Amino acid sequence: MSRTARDVVFVDGVRTPFGKSGKGLYAETRADDLIVRVIRELMRRNPGLPPERVDEVAIAATTQIGDQGLTLGRTAAILAGLPKSVPGYSIDRMCAGALTAATTAGAGISFGAYDVVIAGGVEHMGRHPMGEGVDPNPRIISEKLVDPSALVMGNTAENLHDRYPAITKERADAYAVRSQEKVAKAYADGKIQPDLVETLVRSAEKGFGLATQDEPPRPGTTMESLAGLKTPFRAHGNVTPGNAAGLNDGATGTLLMAEEVAEELGLDAKMRLVDFSFTGVEPEVMGVGPVPATEKLLARQGITIDDIGLIEINEAFAVQVLAFLEHFGIADDDARVNPWGGAIAVGHPLASSGGRLMMQLARQFAERPDVRYGITTMCVGLGMGGTILWENTNYEGGK
């Protein structure tokens, strides 16, 4: 008997355009149909991959109910037309669902249990608001295990402003404006479109149509337009709909495999999974989670934040990103951070967002052979953070 440790590579990623929850693009579209569209497109884009070579389908959803339930990874694999021999399962780590799908299934590749996996996430917040159907144990509050604010993500962001008083509302608004500007420029430069798959949408009133681009971005956002927005989580607070991600719908999928399998199949390995770290923090300030998760990972690898050439951090709230940057001594407008903008502009369909971070980092690596390492990192509800360290397979700089 033997055990195997193999290098794991990211081969491809694809996502639906993200929609606004409520009356947005996907108001009358099922969540499982969104992830099925993504899986089918991953297979279509990689004809060198025989469907029977897929060993696992790991799909995340935060609210695992209705059309996001029923062991979604397995049902989506069947609906997507993969062979019945391909198993699947569901994952829930709230916002870091797709990141966890990648690390969990990727660890299986490294261990030798899998050769090829599809890892992704879907969230239809219009059909299934975060927390739908849950029943928190009364002890959580009565025994003061957490502060009541820990159960409302916007309140945790206000708490983070309290912890970092130097992060003012104006500073958060300025970050949000830059995110909108960067997404608008990335669209104008054709950077985002290659990751998108046209997705059929249905409206009883309007008939059928195609979703071809993200719905949430607000190009032209200014400091003046953000200044007057209400602060719904606290009177005279700092968190507004303008400096936070909205409620969104969408799906993402990534194709991971052992590096030698990618070579065997003639597929392009875009980046290599080096290490990952998840950690817990006080639920009342869940937004600080990426800080210890990244510190833990850097310490284990014996490197510093200065060795990281690209940072894709999810923008659940501007204050959460700024807390990460302030901790590591990174400027608010550092070019390494979210060069194509982030979730404040493009949207954050919870469990699916990690997939977007991964595919954008992979495309940035292709343009930056001078950069060796990058990270994808997120804060996670109920007080967690997750970070994955990736190595650029296009790196041309030596050891």
Question: What three-state secondary structure class fits 100?
Answer: helix
Cα separation, 219 vs 34, in Å, equals 26
Cα separation, 166 vs 326, in Å, equals 9
Active-site option among 95, 124, 128, 161: 95
Question: Does the active-site annotation cover 379?
Answer: yes
Cα separation, 350 vs 26, in Å, equals 15
Strands (DSSP E) contained in the chain are: 8-15, 19-20, 56-60, 88-91, 116-124, 199-203, 207-211, 248-258, 271-280, 308-313, 373-380, 384-392
Contact partners, residue 329, CB within 8 Å, separation at least 6: 305
Strands (DSSP E) contained in 149-269 are: 199-203, 207-211, 248-258
Cα separation, 146 vs 351, in Å, equals 23
Using alpha carbons only, what angle is made at residue 250 by residues 312 and 314, rounded to the nearest 5 degrees?
A: 20
Given a contact cutoff of 8 angstroms between Cβ atoms, the answer to whether 264 and 50 are in contact is: no
Question: Does the active-site annotation cover 161?
Answer: no
Encoded tokens for 230 = 């209400």
Cα separation, 16 vs 38, in Å, equals 7
Active-site option among 124, 128, 161, 348: 348
Encoded tokens for 243 = 């400096």
Cα separation, 119 vs 104, in Å, equals 9
Q: Is 259 exposed, middle or buried (0-12, 13-18, 19+ CB in 10 A)?
A: middle
- The structure tokens 């709909």 sit at 241
Encoded tokens for 195 = 């990751």
Q: State residue 13 phi and psi, 5-degree precision.
A: -150, 150
Instruction: Count other C-beta atoms under 10 Å from residue 204's C-beta.
Output: 7
Question: Does the active-site annotation cover 327?
Answer: no
- The structure tokens 């960067």 sit at 182
- The structure tokens 């930056």 sit at 368
Cα separation, 160 vs 167, in Å, equals 9
User: Which residues are tagged catalytic?
Assistant: 95, 348, 379
